[in-house]
Chains A and B, each alone.
Chain A
Amino acid sequence: KQEVTQIPAALSVPEGENLVLNCSFTDSAIYNLQWFRQDPGKGLTSLLLIQSSQREQTSGRLNASLDKSSGRSTLYIAASQPGDSATYLCAVRPNTNAGKSTFGDGTTLTVKP
């Protein structure tokens, strides 16, 4: 059974810092991995989607990498801003059943002004 772990559970940084969020998964036979942002009491907003054949994806100040063989993905946020404060979740979709996804518990990020 796939397990997805996100460390740390919470992170607090001053504004302007670059930071890395981590996501690890136990079964490397994945179809793709997606990073989401969730604001308190709100739904999930898709940030980046990395296919299993890709190594990284970039969108603005965000860069996500994928290393399937080691079961790891990172989300790099450059020049963090208070508006980046949210919970970040990663989700993996397996090869065998494209209908099921497994989510990590998320990392709650606080960016202090």
Chain B
Amino acid sequence: EAQVTQNPRYLITVTGKKLTVTCSQNMNHEYMSWYRQDPGLGLRQIYYSMNVEVTDKGDVPEGYKVSRKEKRNFPLILESPSPNQTSLYFCASRYPGGTEAFFGQGTRLTVV
């Protein structure tokens, strides 16, 4: 089954403790991206990657890092999480060009 898998689904952590949210897709998609969803602000793009070793900033990249060492994986790294990064995070993937995007089930992160 074609899917985008995020882990963990839920995470509560403390300020400053580094964490990684993993994202993996089994569709051989070149393009992957991360979004955060907040009430009243909608979905905002954090980072995206057009292919292996190619990443670029989205609209809200501050406080986040990503890497794309393999085509199927695109982890999101929070080096020093802060409470304002409490949010619902989504990973997405697709082929290049005008193809539909597939989303993961989301990771609900709470930073206390």
Q: Please report the C-alpha to C-alpha distance between residue A53 and residue B59 in the assembled complex, in whole angstroms.
A: 27
Q: Which residues of A contact B (CB under 8 A)?
A: 31-32, 34, 36, 41-46, 49, 51, 89, 91, 93, 98-101, 103-106
Give the nearest-CB partner of B35 in chain A: A103
- Asked if A42 contacts B105 (CB within 8 A), the reply is yes
- Asked if B90 contacts A44 (CB within 8 A), the reply is yes
Q: Find chain A residues with CB under 8 A from B99 CB.
A: 49
Shortest beta-carbon distance from B63 to chain A in Å: 19
Interface size on B, residues (CB 8 A): 29
Give the nearest-CB partner of A54 in chain B: B98
- Asked if B45 contacts A46 (CB within 8 A), the reply is no
Out of A42, A89, A98, A104, name the residue touching B97 (CB < 8 Å). Answer: A98
Q: Find chain A residues with CB under 8 A from B70 CB.
A: none
- Asked if A103 contacts B42 (CB within 8 A), the reply is yes
Q: A51-B98, A98-B97, A99-B50 are in contact. List 5 more A-B contacts (CB 8 A).
A: A36-B103, A41-B108, A44-B103, A49-B98, A89-B43
Shortest beta-carbon distance from A88 to chain B in Å: 13
- Asked if B106 contacts A49 (CB within 8 A), the reply is no
- Asked if A103 contacts B43 (CB within 8 A), the reply is yes
Q: Please report the C-alpha to C-alpha distance between residue A44 and residue B31 in the assembled complex, in whole angstroms.
A: 17
- Asked if A43 contacts B104 (CB within 8 A), the reply is yes
Out of A43, A45, A100, name the residue touching B48 (CB < 8 Å). Answer: A100
Shortest beta-carbon distance from B92 to chain A in Å: 8
With A42-B105, A43-B106, A99-B56 as known contacts, state yes or no: A105 contacts B42, CB within 8 Å. Answer: yes
B11 part of interface (Cβ distance < 8 Å): no
Shortest beta-carbon distance from A103 to chain B in Å: 4
